């Protein structure tokens, strides 16, 4: 229908029939909008079907699903040559930018000095516990994905977490795991 309407529109322009051409142009744009709506619905339907398949695969075997998800082929070779990469990174990471002195904008007022000194002590156990209690049970912080519910319900694990946080705070060294 789009192609036919477009063909008729071009013919009307060639004949000089502006009134018919204007109507055909409106019809053509209506058909384009209709086509886009149908296309979006089809894409949404395909997306819904694929997410349903993924959900079923996860339900059947979560370990295999995670293994496939995390062990995707990431060993790909770059599509550019070494000289091109060196040229790009030399232009991006040059020492001229590092020594640049930033100045305040004209008319910008300097903020007042703080009234209280910054607290450099690690958080107390009660502060950590209060923070954990405010979090949603189903959410999980960090890459280990341990839900907040574990930290809320197991006070021994919260004590251990507090010790780790205090140790990191004092030494400045973040453990690998």
The radius of gyration of the chain's CA atoms, rounded to the nearest angstrom, is 31
**d(Cα 135, Cα 141) in Å, to the nearest integer?**
10
Residue 147 domain boundaries: 122-177
11 occurs within a structural domain: yes
The domain total for the chain is 2
41, 34 Cβ separation under 8 angstroms: no
Closest CA to 24 of 11, 33, 34, 15: 11
**d(Cα 120, Cα 116) in Å, to the nearest integer?**
12
19 occurs within a structural domain: yes
For the entire predicted model, the pTM comes to 0.38
Instruction: Look at residue 97 and tell me whether its pLDDT is greater than 70.
Output: no
For the CA atoms of 9, 10, 12, 15, the dihedral, rounded to the nearest 10 degrees, stands at 180
Residue 166 burial (CB count, 10 A): 16
Dump pLDDT digits (tens) for 10-40. Answer: 888 888 888 888 888 899 899 999 999 999 9
The residues, any chain, with a CB within 8 Å of residue 105's CB and separated by 6 or more, are none
Determine the pLDDT at residue 159.
Answer: 93
Dump pLDDT digits (tens) for 42-57. Answer: 999 888 888 888 888 8
Determine the pLDDT at residue 30.
Answer: 92
Query: Which helix (H) or strand (E) element contains residue 42?
Result: helix 18-60
Among residues 30, 48, 70, the one where a domain terminates is 70
Dump pLDDT digits (tens) for 149-159. Answer: 888 899 899 99
20 occurs within a structural domain: yes
Among residues 51, 70, 89, the one where a domain terminates is 70
């Amino acid at each position: 229908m789009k192609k036919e309407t477009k063909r008729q529109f071009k013919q009307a322009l060639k004949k000089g029939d502006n009134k018919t051409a204007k109507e055909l142009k409106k019809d053509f744009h209506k058909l384009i909008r209709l086509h886009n709506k149908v296309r979006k619905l089809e894409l949404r339907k395909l997306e819904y079907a694929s997410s349903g398949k993924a959900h079923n695969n996860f339900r059947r075997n979560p370990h295999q699903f995670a293994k496939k998800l995390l062990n995707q082929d990431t060993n790909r070779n770059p599509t550019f040559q070494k000289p091109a990469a060196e040229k790009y990174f030399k232009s991006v990471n040059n020492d001229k930018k590092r020594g640049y002195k930033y100045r305040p904008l004209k008319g910008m007022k300097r903020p007042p000095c703080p009234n209280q000194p910054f607290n450099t002590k690690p958080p107390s156990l009660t502060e950590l516990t209060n923070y954990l209690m405010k979090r949603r049970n189903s959410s999980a912080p960090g890459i280990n994905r341990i839900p907040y519910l574990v930290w809320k319900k197991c006070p021994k694990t919260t004590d251990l977490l507090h010790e780790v946080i205090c140790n990191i705070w004092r030494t400045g060294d973040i453990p690998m795991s």
